[in-house]
Structure 1
Amino acid sequence: MSEVIDRVSKTVQPILDDNNFYLYDIEYVQEGGSWYLRVYIDKDQGVSLDDCVLVSDQLSEKLDELDPDPFDEPYFLEVSSPGAERPLKRESDYQNAIGKYIHVSLYQKLDGKKAFEGTLESLDDDQLTLSVKDKTRVHQLEIPRKLISKARLAIEF
């Protein structure tokens, strides 16, 4: 599976460079008996439907030309934006999220909870610091990175 992702990444990168997009993520997964190749793209001004169609059309053509074909099964190609509540996977994702509102899910409870939302104030190799609003106050919460199962941008209500 990583061979597929590597080949797709190398194939899509020139298309993205030519159109001022950057690659956010690639997934190659099986769901309900079908294979899906999902390519998530982004740019500073945000991604439109036309942007996704442009990359999808060009990438589809390039993937059809790959030799040898890295795909063992038929698949569906999906090109999209990672969305407003995009996952934080790489270190650069976390760095770009400093000052933004995020949701963090934990493997085990911290202060009696397994999920927190707040503004990411800082991070280092060992922990994240969130500014968390409770009903009556705002406080800083330090979350050990080894406890984090998932993190994503969140919309504050």
Structure 2
Amino acid sequence: MATDVAQREGCVLYDLELVGTGNGRILRIYIDKDAGVGVEDCSSVSKGLNLLLDANEDAVPGGNYTLEVSTPGLDRILTKPWHFEKVIGKKIYIKLTSSLSTLGVTEKGIASMKQFDEVLAAVEGDQLVFDIRGVNVKIPFSKIEKSKLVFEMKTNSIKKKK
């Protein structure tokens, strides 16, 4: 349902989550598109989804909830293979289920690493590829506990006139 509404509005469903309990539940819908998501996109998806959800009260079991539609943000969580494919060449944070040594990495200084921020070099099948301190490291999706894009603010140096 959310996928269809997002597509109809020219967006893609990035992710969704239902959090909270009782009357404090929140259904969060995250949308994205190549040109960037604006307030109008969020509003259109929210209105379209509200109409469908109101017509089908059983779509979200458990009673009352609040609907929120937004972008995944600058430090977006990465969970699906296509999320990673969109950020090749960018720095991402990875937390693994166990250290790199369990993946066969033996190099001193990186074998014990369980989390790191590195530039994603490639996605190959069900693995992410990184160059960590000159060592080619392949990490299966199944070994990733948490991952997100690392937001890096670019600063332009401005010269002051004297």
Whole-Å separation in 2 of the counterparts to 1:69 and 1:105 = 33
Q: Residue 16 and residue 123 in structure 1: after superposition, are their counterparts in 2 closer, same or farther (change >3 A)?
A: closer
State, as a whole percentage, how many aligned pairs show the same letter.
Answer: 33
* 2:148 aligned partner: 152
Spell out structure 1 runs of 4+ moving beyond 3 A.
67-70
After the TM superposition, which residues 23-34 of structure 1 pair with which residues of structure 2 at under 5 Å, given as runs?
Answer: 23-30=13-20, 34=24
Contact in 2 for aligned 1:38/1:79 (Cα 8 Å): yes
Runs of 5+ in structure 1 lacking a partner?
A: 1-9, 133-137
Structure 1 equivalent of residue 129 of structure 2: 129
Structure richer in strand, relative to its length = 1
Give 1:142 deviation, angstroms.
0.7
Q: Secondary structure at the match of 1:97?
A: coil
Say which one has the larger Rg. Answer: 2
The equivalences for 1:54-69 within 5 A come to 54-66=44-56, 68=58
CA distance in 2, matches of 1:31, 1:70: 13
Q: CA deviation at 1:31?
A: 5.0
Q: Which amino acid aligns with 2:145?
A: S
Counterpart of 2:37, as a letter, is V
Q: Residues 75 and 151 of structure 2 are in contact (CA less than 8 Å); yes or no, is this contact kept in structure 1? A: yes
Q: Secondary structure at the match of 1:27?
A: strand
> Aligned pair in 2 of structure 1 residues 17, 130: CA closer, same or farther (>3 Å)?
same
Structure 2 residues without counterparts, runs of 5 or longer:
101-110, 154-162
Aligned length: 142
Q: SS where residue 17 of structure 1 aligns? A: helix
Which residue of structure 2 lines up, in the alignment, with residue 77 of structure 1?
67
How far apart, CA to CA, are the structure 2 residues paired with 1:97 and 1:80? 19
Using the alignment, how far apart are the partners of 1:151 and 1:60 within structure 2?
30
Judge which range, 141-150 or 50-59, deviates more: 141-150
- Cα deviation 1:103-151 (Å, max 9, x = unaligned): 111122332322111111123346422234xxxxx52441432432111
Using the size of structure 2 for normalisation, the TM-score is: 0.74
**2:37 is the alignment partner of 1:35:** no
2:137 corresponds in structure 1 to: 142
Quote the Cα distance in structure 2 between the aligned partners of 1:117 and 1:67.
Answer: 43
Larger mean Cα displacement after TM superposition, 13-22 or 120-129: 120-129
| Corresponding position: 1:86 with 2:81 | no
